[in-house]
Each structure stands twice: as structure tokens, then as C-alpha cells.
């Protein structure tokens, strides 16, 4: 139980860092203020959805008496400029 709480705290901190970094990346791509606000709203929706899925997994693991599985972070939407950059970065690696 303590490990799950620590994992949640670490996940929250990493999500906040990711949000801050994505704002700087979005600013570097010269996105408009509206697009940045939409991106932030979508990020918060993804974070809330992720936390709900995580809680559902913890409850399911509790009732089935098993170790909780890792819940992947949902990706609802990303601007096309960011998707292009991610594809280019994955091709280079």
C-alpha cells in the first residue's frame, strides 16, 4: 500500500514536470495562446483519466488479490506539430 502511494506521488510529480516541459516545447513551436491552453486542458483531462484508471486498477487488484498492473498513460490529443517532432525523434533513435 505504501509503495502504491509512493508510486502515485512520483507519477504526479513526473506528470507536472511533463506538463511544464510540454509548455516550453509548445512555445518553441510557436503555437498560439489558444492552442497552448487547449493543450493544457487536454493534459489535465488525460491526468484525471489516468488517475481514475489507476484507482480502478487498484480496486480490481484488491478484490482479485493480485499485484496491480501498470496503467499506461492515455493520450487523447496532441498538436500535429508535436506529433511530427515525436515521429522524427523516434526515427532518429
| pLDDT digit string, tens, across residues 1-27 | 778 887 888 888 888 878 777 766 655
pTM, two decimal places: 0.48
C-alpha separations of 6 from 9, 12, 25 in Å: 5, 10, 28
Q: Per-residue pLDDT tens for 44-56?
A: 888 888 888 888 8
pLDDT at 88: 66
Domain boundaries, the chain: 2-92
On the question of pLDDT at 66 being above 80, the answer is yes
| pLDDT at residue 89, rounded to an integer | 64
Using 50, 70 and 90 to split pLDDT, how confident is the model at 93? low
Four-CA torsion 28, 30, 33, 34, nearest 10 degrees: -120
> Cell 498492473 appears where?
69
Q: How many CB atoms lie within 10 A of CB 11?
A: 16
Amino acid at each position: 500500500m505504501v509503495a502504491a502511494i509512493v508510486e502515485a506521488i512520483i507519477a504526479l510529480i513526473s506528470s507536472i514536470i511533463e506538463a511544464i516541459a510540454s509548455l516550453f516545447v509548445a512555445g518553441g513551436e510557436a503555437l498560439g495562446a489558444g492552442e497552448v491552453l487547449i493543450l493544457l486542458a487536454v493534459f489535465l483531462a488525460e491526468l484525471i483519466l489516468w488517475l481514475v484508471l489507476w484507482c480502478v486498477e487498484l480496486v480490481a487488484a484488491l478484490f482479485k488479490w493480485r499485484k496491480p498492473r501498470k496503467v499506461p498513460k492515455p493520450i487523447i490529443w496532441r498538436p500535429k506539430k508535436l506529433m511530427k517532432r515525436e515521429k522524427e525523434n523516434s526515427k532518429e533513435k
